[in-house]
Amino acid sequence: MAITGTDIKYACKILSEGGLVAIPTETVYGLAGNALNPEAVARIFEVKNRPSFDPLIVHVSNVQEARRYSTEFPEKAELLASHFWPGPLTLLLPKNPEIPDIVTSGMPDVAIRVPDNKLTLELLTALPFPLVAPSANPFGYISPTTAQHVNDQLGDKIDYILDGGAARVGLESTIVGFPANQPTIYRLGGLSVDEIEKLTGHLEIMPHSSSNPKAPGMLKSHYAPAKPFRLESAVKDNVTDGNNGYLLFCDSIGSVPIENQRILAPDGNMKTAAKNLFKYMRELDALNVAQIIAELVPDEGLGRAINDRLRRAASDSQD
């Protein structure tokens, strides 16, 4: 198991020597390495067993640093950064040559964000280089939202876990790019489409990809538990086996053992559902059940990103 703590200096030392540190953010925990060190970046791909064609997000401490590592910062990117950084927003921008090609999987654009977590911002401010930090879990599995989740999956493969408590948002960042100066969502996430469109006007939304994605987190199959994971449109009307686990929005099922159910948002609040999503998927995956059956949440606000994760988690089971 990896050492876990809040020692910024120790984390800086490891990262400066090319090691890997799991870091907390408001979205999920990331597996961080020096973004300017191709060997450290390659180790992240190796530890996660992540395909080299799936690019990574660069984390910086402020918008000035983001400008440094991009060659162009469109006006609407500036507008979004001023409103939502630090926060669950990633901008896809033309990259500076200082960013190694391994970070962007050879593509010309780099994904950059400023995370909203006190410990990680202190770490980024203390370092003379940015960090790449994909989710700190084996590739394709459920994203981690606590330090313990990281230790459970990667504790024997990384050098240190910076423990910043449970992730506040619980969904990965929303990624926005600007092809032909048109604001475009490449990945739905912890910042809702509605909030962004208030500033940018209409947003295009890119489809998922099965190979060669243009930005991180665009693969069709992702975020999946080890057990079979299915989506059903009328879960409560189709209970046929008490040996299943159920992931539900706000109401339980009376005919199913309560220990086999997880209710994302008893209060009906989408922020509560987002925060609980990956945690409850992990808990159900650990139960002695044959499969996990989930229902979609209302497709509004953060619900669109939650449903995106549910559909992709179910992709392999239902293709």
Query: Alpha carbon of 170 to those of 28, 97, 111, 218, 302: distances in Å?
Result: 6, 32, 19, 18, 11
Q: Are residues 298 and 173 in the same domain?
A: no
As annotated, the binding site includes 27, 50, 59, 113, 133, 135, 143, 173, 187, 223
Q: Please report the pLDDT score of residue 232 as a whole number.
A: 85
Q: Are residues 179 and 298 in the same domain?
A: no
d(CA 104, CA 109): 7
- Residue 219: inside a domain: no
Q: Please report the pLDDT score of residue 299 as a whole number.
A: 93
Q: Are residues 59 and 10 in the same domain?
A: yes
Q: Are residues 268 and 148 in the same domain?
A: no
As annotated, the binding site for ATP includes 50, 59, 135, 143, 187, 223
Q: Are residues 266 and 197 in the same domain?
A: no
Interval 50-100: pLDDT, tens: 888 889 999 999 999 999 999 999 999 999 999 999 999 999 999 999 999
* Per-residue model confidence as pLDDT tens for the chain (319 residues): 889 999 999 999 999 999 999 999 999 999 999 999 999 999 999 999 988 888 999 999 999 999 999 999 999 999 999 999 999 999 999 999 999 999 999 999 999 999 999 999 999 999 999 999 999 999 889 999 999 999 999 999 999 999 999 999 999 999 999 999 999 999 999 999 999 999 999 999 987 644 456 667 666 566 789 999 999 877 777 776 668 999 999 999 988 899 999 999 999 999 999 999 999 999 999 999 999 999 999 999 999 999 999 998 987 654 4
Domain of 145?
4-205
Q: Are residues 48 and 177 in the same domain?
A: yes
Which CB contacts under 8 angstroms, 24+ apart, belong to 100-103?
100/35, 100/36, 100/37, 100/38, 100/41, 102/38, 102/41, 102/42, 102/45, 102/52, 103/35, 103/41, 103/55, 103/56, 103/58, 103/132
Q: Are residues 109 and 250 in the same domain?
A: no
- Residue 79: inside a domain: yes
Q: Please report the pLDDT score of residue 217 as a whole number.
A: 65
- Which CATH number fits the domain that encloses residue 89? 3.90.870.10
Measured in residues, the chain has a length of 319
- Residue 220: inside a domain: no
Q: Please report the pLDDT score of residue 240 as a whole number.
A: 66
pTM, to two decimals: 0.91
Interval 273-287: pLDDT, tens: 999 999 999 999 999
As annotated, the binding site for L-threonine includes 27, 113, 133, 173
Q: Are residues 201 and 71 in the same domain?
A: yes
Q: Are residues 39 and 171 in the same domain?
A: yes
Q: Are residues 55 and 193 in the same domain?
A: yes
- Residue 160: inside a domain: yes
Q: What is the DSSP string of the chain?
A: ---EE--HHHHHHHHHTT--EEE--SSS-EEEEETT-HHHHHHHHHHHT--TTS--EEE-SSHHHHHHTBS---HHHHHHHHHH-SSSEEEEEEBPTTS-HHHHTT-SEEEEE----HHHHHHHHHSSS-EE--BSSSTTBPPP-SHHHHHHHHTTT-SEEE---S-SS-SPPEEEE-GGG--EEEE--SS-HHHHHHHH-S-EEPPPBSSS-SSTT-BSS-SB-SS-EEE-TTGGG----TTSEEEESS---TTS-GGGEEES-TT--HHHHHHHHHHHHHHHHTSS-S-EEE-PPPSSTTHHHHHHHHHHHTHHHH-
Q: Are residues 239 and 275 in the same domain?
A: yes
- Residue 309: inside a domain: yes
Q: Provide the number of structural domains found in the chain.
A: 2
- Residue 216: inside a domain: no
Q: Are residues 65 and 114 in the same domain?
A: yes
Q: Which of 205, 221, 242 is the last residue of a domain?
A: 205
- Residue 212: inside a domain: no
- Which CATH number fits the domain that encloses residue 281? 3.40.50.11030
